Amino acid sequence: PYHVHMNQNLFLQAFLHSSDPDLVLFLDTCVASPTPSNFTAVTYDIIRNGCVRESSYATYYSPHRHILRFKFNAFQFIRSDPQVYLKCELVVCRAYDYSSRCYQGCINRLKREASS
């Protein structure tokens, strides 16, 4: 557990342990939940499909492609325990492979119309 106060900045860093210098990290999705085992019922999107959903989210410069740094303000779910659990999905790509997911950025998936 990592303890922070409400609205305090929470800084995170992901590090890819690899000897291949030509790999890149991309944060595709990062979701918060009040329970550690259920990330589908009650969730809050920080990033979804590479699209920022939380206004306090920001990325930070990293001198290496295999290190990803970001932050957002700590929050609490209404009517729940003060714990918030994070589940983040990262993608590993080849550097300079511009057709890879890492270089596509935000993907807004359109919802289908449910017609009769």
Do residues 48 and 115 lie in contact, with contact meaning Cβ atoms separated by under 8 Å? no
Verdict on whether the full-model pTM lies above 0.75: yes
Q: What is the pLDDT of residue 65?
A: 87
Domain boundaries, the chain: 8-97
Gap between the Cα atoms of 82 and 6, Å rounded:
10
Do residues 3 and 10 lie in contact, with contact meaning Cβ atoms separated by under 8 Å? no
Q: Helix or strand or coil: residue 103? A: helix
> Taking the chain, what is the end-to-end CA distance rounded to the nearest angstrom?
48
Gap between the Cα atoms of 54 and 40, Å rounded:
18
Question: pLDDT by residue for the chain (116 residues), tens digit each?
Answer: 788 888 889 999 999 999 898 999 999 999 988 888 877 777 889 999 999 999 999 999 998 888 999 999 988 776 677 788 899 999 999 999 999 999 999 998 755 555 54
In the CATH scheme, what architecture does the domain 8-97 have?
Sandwich (2.60)
Q: What is the pLDDT of residue 85?
A: 87
